[in-house]
Amino acid sequence: MRRVAGGGAGVAGTFASVSMMFSSSVPSPAPRGAFRRGAVSAPGGSPDGAPGGAVPGPRTAPAAAPRVPAPRGRRAVSALALSALLVPPVVAGGTAYAADGGGEKQPKDPAPPAVMSRVGGERLGVPGVQVQLKDGAPKVPRGISARSWIVSDAESGEVLAAKNPHWQLPPASTLKMLFADTVLPKFPKGEKYTVKPADLEGMGAGSSLVGIKENLTYTVHDLWLGVFLRSGNDAVHTLSAMNGGTEATVAEMRQRAKDLNAVDTHVVTPDGYDAPGQVSSAYDLSLFARAGLQNADFREYCATATAQFPGDKGKGGKRETFGIQNTNRLLTGAPGLQPYPGIAGVKNGYTTHAGNTLTAVAQHGARKLLVTLMNPSKEEPNESYKETAALFDWGFEAAGKVEPVGRLVGPRSEEGDASAAGHHGAAGDDGKSGKGQDPSALEATDSSGGAWTAVGVAGGALVVVGAVALVVRRRRPLPEAVRREARRRR
């Protein structure tokens, strides 16, 4: 089976306190000499977690590209052997994900594991929707078809509601959040690097590419734009080469996941491309987003809508550029889909094996919410974005009207090993399915509330938003300068 859009292939919205305009227009075509290989489309739609509708797709390597060799046998065996020693075992009862080379998809609607991690709260390990509504609280929207999802407060970490958040599933390009959280702090934005041919070897067939060329020089800033906007696996592999190689980077990502108490995650590829044993969870992806969003550069890149990317050298040796646009449609919009109000990142992904995955952060007023969603079963255009928007709408309306069913834990440096006894979440949870859960909470509800708004166009230039000091481990007030700006814009 050919994987589509990159290993994930791949979330400007703005916090309400720092509203900025961005372009939802199609980027300018690549200039002469720029990377022109056609995008590979998902069945029924375009790449990178965005089925349906035409969006300028990431440049993708053809399935038979000569620079995309099959994994070498010794290395593949070694990776599997090492994973058996290092990875927390996939919870019994879950879907067994094998290599994506047999030409068969996984079952459409597998059952969640009967036993999952309880990190963050006993109820977070119980299959099914977990929510504790107070009087007057809105009902969780019907029609959310994702296998796993979680709605949490980005500042306090309180989990408002969740469904199978610890189900270990292929993450696709949302795993790039962990890659960025691990590698991004190491290299100054202005540092330059000349790409070697070996740096671009080993990418999976059909990988999404931003269009990096060997023997040309790029800044670190350029490379991160390629990672976040186009979900470019070529940018990931180049940065991994700068970081000592793919194997070293994967080892660091595994350690970083452990440091963040992300016990559901096992990393095999730095870009999220499907591989045997590579899994994460909606819970862990939310942890990665919270950690990454503490970094100002991470916030800048994940909230950038459009940018110009270096191309080939033209006449006189001057580098040409071509336009790139973020693949996150909650941020840029798409036909029939407006950008979500207050959106500020973070990352989407898609492969045929993982389905659509998405982690997003948005702010309404003083409230900042994180939503992570994995693998909707509905095959509708932009379904992952629509379901995420519905969960955001519910979360902003329900904030203060629900009892938390768990929490996003802090890193080991603050809380120790959260998988140990005594490190579970909400007090009083006994882990029994449906305890305190009102069956009517799952009845249909109109979650839109007229919340969609149009976002202005500001040309095709790079747009940076999300420069707010988003707090993710401990609740802290926003800087007073940001509050003054929010008041001025009201």
Could you identify the residue written with the tokens 């449609």?
Answer: 329
pLDDT in tens, the chain (490 residues): 334 444 444 333 333 333 332 233 333 333 333 333 333 333 333 345 444 333 333 444 433 333 334 344 444 434 433 333 333 333 333 332 222 223 345 556 789 999 999 999 999 999 999 999 999 999 999 999 999 999 999 999 999 999 999 999 999 999 999 999 999 999 999 999 999 999 999 999 999 999 999 999 999 999 999 999 999 999 999 999 999 999 999 999 999 999 999 999 999 999 999 999 999 999 999 999 999 999 999 999 999 999 999 999 888 888 999 999 999 999 999 999 999 999 999 999 999 999 999 999 999 999 999 999 999 999 899 999 999 999 999 999 999 999 999 999 999 999 999 987 444 443 333 333 333 343 333 333 322 222 222 222 222 333 333 333 343 334 433 333 333 333 333 3
Q: Are 239 and 223 in contact (CB under 8 A)?
A: yes
Q: How many residues does the chain have?
A: 490
Q: What is the DSSP string of 327-371?
A: S-HHHH-BTTBPPPTTEEEEEEEEETTTEEEEEEEEEETTEEEEE
Q: Are 134 and 126 in contact (CB under 8 A)?
A: no
Given the residues 173, 208, 281, 447, select the one marked as catalytic: 173
Is the Cα torsion angle 30, 384, 108, 269 positive or negative in sign? Answer: positive
Q: What is the pLDDT of residue 316?
A: 81
Angle subtended at Cα 327 by Cα 9 and Cα 337, rounded to the nearest 5 degrees? 130
Q: What is the dihedral of CA 11, 13, 16, 18, to 10 degrees?
A: 110
Closest CA to 355 of 139, 128, 115, 147: 147
- Is 207 annotated in the active site? no
Query: Which residues, in sequence order, are CB contacts of 76 under 8 Å at separation 6+?
Result: none
Q: What is the pLDDT of residue 148?
A: 98
Q: What is the pLDDT of residue 11?
A: 32
Report the C-alpha gap between 268 and 127 in whole angstroms: 26
Q: Enter the pTM of the model.
A: 0.72
- The type of residue at 345 is G
- Is 173 annotated in the active site? yes
Q: What is the pLDDT of residue 235?
A: 98
Q: Are 60 and 47 in contact (CB under 8 A)?
A: yes
- Is 240 annotated in the active site? no
Given the residues 24, 46, 208, 231, select the one marked as catalytic: 231
Closest CA to 461 of 301, 305, 302, 303: 305
Task: Indicate the angle between helix axes 176-183 and 246-259, nearest 10 degrees.
Answer: 90
Q: Regarding beta strands 192-194 and 217-219, do their DSSP bridges make them parallel or antiparallel, or are they unpaired?
A: antiparallel
Given the residues 23, 24, 117, 176, select the one marked as catalytic: 176
Q: What is the pLDDT of residue 280?
A: 98
Q: What is the pLDDT of residue 382?
A: 95
Q: What is the largest CA-CA distance in the chain?
A: 71
Q: Which H or E run includes 402?
A: strand 402-403
Report the C-alpha gap between 10 and 171 in whole angstroms: 10
Q: What is the pLDDT of residue 317?
A: 81
